[in-house]
Chains A and B, each alone.
Chain A
Amino acid sequence: MSFGPHLFLAVLEGLVTSAVLALTALGLSLVFGVMRVVNVAHGEFFMLGAVSAWFISTALGGHPAIGFVAALIISPLLVGALALLSERLVLRRLNYNPEATIVATIGMLYIIQQAALTFYGPEARPVEPPFNLRVLFPWFGYSGYKLSIIVASILLMLGTWFVLTRTRIGLIMRATQFDSETAQAFGIPVDRVYAGVFALGAMLAAIAAVLIVPIQQAHYLMGLDPLLMSFIVVIIGGLGSLRGTVVAAVLVGLSDGIISVFFSPTLAKMLATLLVAMVLVFRPQGLFGERQR
């Protein structure tokens, strides 16, 4: 294949990666930004989204689109509810202590993963895409569904941006993030905001997973990769910064796509890690993050 089409394919692949990564990383970034909790179990919420999408789409017969749309609505709600429960039962009782919550979320990671193994099983199972469209370029065919992921992700990111910057809920979240003590003094129920943000973060991961499961399959170990990549994105972009997360996700996703097409996927991961190291050395708050006060 000549260089032009080759690069085009690489960019497409990179954009799909970026789209899913941006959503997943945004959840992680929000949780850290507002709550100062490093959620190591974030990847498992992603996995739960995919696994529950399989259960939902299998339970509903008929056209694959019915199961998929149902999964897109129900999966995030289920995962959000579980996140809410674990926030109430675990994180709140630890007073959101940064060290304690890291250990607690590691524990949650294992519990969720083993529960998935027990109740769902070790198989990788496919969810049918809502539509099967093969977009035919002159040089190769490409999945139309993959292209639709990019569109869906952009819409969801815009929605999140709107909620965060233009609504009262967003204002309360930003106030809590800015200074939780003062926010509390002004009557903002910080505790409930935390619970909501944790659930929202998990729901974003679950939505990303439902979008990706028709192209990747649900598997109980699938949470690790998105977790690591999200950490990379969040560190590069700056914790808690929506703009930083999107830019970093596009950067990491595209470089992953292009470098792994032309060189090797291992090199892509190495360069991403190197970028993280460089950011930590020269701009510890991330490309778009604000310096801690």
Chain B
Amino acid sequence: MATLDSKVPEGPIKDKWTNYKNHIELVNPANKRHIDVIVVGTGLAGGSAAATLAELGYNVKAFAYQDSPRRAHSIAAQGGINASKNYMGDGDSDYRLFYDTVKGGDYRSREANVYRLAEVSGNIIDQCVAQGVPFARDYGGLLDNRSFGGVLVSRTFYAKGQTGQQLLLGAYSAMNRQIARGKIEMFNRHEMLDVVKIDGKARGIIARNLITGELERHSAHAVVIATGGYGNVYFLSTNAMGSNVTAAWKVHKRGAFFANPCFTQIHPTCIPRSGDYQSKLTLMSESLRNDGRIWVPAKLEDAKAIQEGRLKPTQIPEEDRDYYLERRYPAFGNLVPRDVASRAAKERCDAGYGVNATGEAVYLDFASAIERYGKEQAKLKGLNNPSKEEIIKLGQDIIKAKYGNLFQMYEKIVAENPYETPMMIYPATHYTMGGVWVDYNLMTTVPGLYCIGEANFSDHGANRLGASALMQGLADGYFVLPYTIGDYLADDIQTGKIPTNTPEFDAVENEVKERIEFFVNNKGSKSVDYFHKKLGKIMWDKVGMSRNEKGLKEAMAEIKALREEFWKDVNVPGNANEMNAELEKAGRVADFLELGELFAKDALTRNESCGGHFREESVELEGEQKGEAKRNDEEYAFVSAWEYKGEPADAVLHKEHLEFNDIELKQRSYK
């Protein structure tokens, strides 16, 4: 049975990674040609890993379910990427980035991994600029920065509101260079449906060609999972429609432990839902909180009038507004971390102060920023005694330059002009901090099987600070995995090509085939989406932002029952040997129906409020933090790593105790 050995190197935290790199095994460049690596997923983590491994000389096979690696959902990240460059001279350092990330994650991440992340963060910016990523510049031609929730320095590098897009296109261009050289073989429109182990080691995958339906066997000396998060377990999330848990879940079923499944990030600034037909939610970058002030009406009758459409937000005078984040958290104000902002919004809406028809929205108001910028511009332009209209026009131009694409996106979806009336926002599921358990080398509990980016668990604890997902994806792909995987592959230089005509490949392919045949032959009465929506509702109501023991137990039973119904009654039209989107979805929802139950089970065993996860039984009862979430370090300072044993309810818990030697564990305060 696999055991948990985090393999964190000895020594002071600031020297661990350097010492480690100095002592790992290297593969001779001439031998790398004889080694194959499979990378599943081509977002920031997978794309950068594939490009770098190919650059080093390994033969890479990369897989993406989309038609091009450029469409991975990393492309939708908006706000920016952190790096401890201290270009602004505001006191930033590797240690501070490390500290903020560990604190922001509510002390549930692995210290050594996070320090390494901070340490390589500066390299990422250098690398991306060299690749031609057009980051924002100041007038002197140097890189510009902005600030994000949960921190007191400006360390976020950005490319308008499309930072993820530009970073992904950078990694994609690096991949293209390797594809042109023949070092990456790219498989578009292919989905990994299982992993193949030989003598206990990951040696290949079974993939389905999504155009022809053909099942393919691909072998390699190591397999890297880089398939992102599982937020779509909620049905409504900010993830792309195709984002799924399948690869991560299949490796879990083959022996990789799954860590902290219940740590999900609820993002505070999403466009609220409008109806039951809705297919997904849209995120508005958190960077908007730099200039937007969040409020709800202070009086219940005003809130009611707004909900009924009798009153407009602009008609409510300043003194009748409740800027609740500024009121509750004066030090951080509107820039508190995502979990704090999300919970505070839910608290106000639950109390009846929500501002749209469903009562599930708060305002994000740019009026005072527009006026402030307008006055500054008027001064810069030497305008004497400018009119209010002139000031507003000048201020709107500045806001447009900073967030134009986000404002346009909002206007398209909601059909309201956010320059003139405050935006409405509400929390939504965004990023999953849990994922496949990995050691310091980013290897799972299955030898030769690696997991990077959002698909693993290690760096974000129970909550992710803004602009740190892009950082982790690229750190893992460009700068961590390429070293650590060599240490493992050094033993494989004599192995030669791994054959695919073996009993191990036969057996796994047969299982995959049987499952597909089941789906297309079942001819039940309910569509895949019917089950996915039902699962999502259970998850949001009982395993969402706020949870309690009773609800979690109910959720586990309800998900199990829903899963049984799914396997009896799901209807998948069409055939296996053709492009069949419903068949693809069926396989993914089947996996979500198992993950969802483990997710609830994990939440049940963690009787503490932590990160985005508010456990109703665990709340501060007195003192300055009264009413805030209460973490419990004595009992829960560990990673929950689940071992698969058949039914999700039977999964066995292994604990990796978290040690904090360089950061004192203390209550998070943003007051």
Is chain B found bound to chain A in the same assembly?
A: no
- Give residues in B with beta carbon < 8 Å to A: none
Give residues in A with beta carbon < 8 Å to B.
none
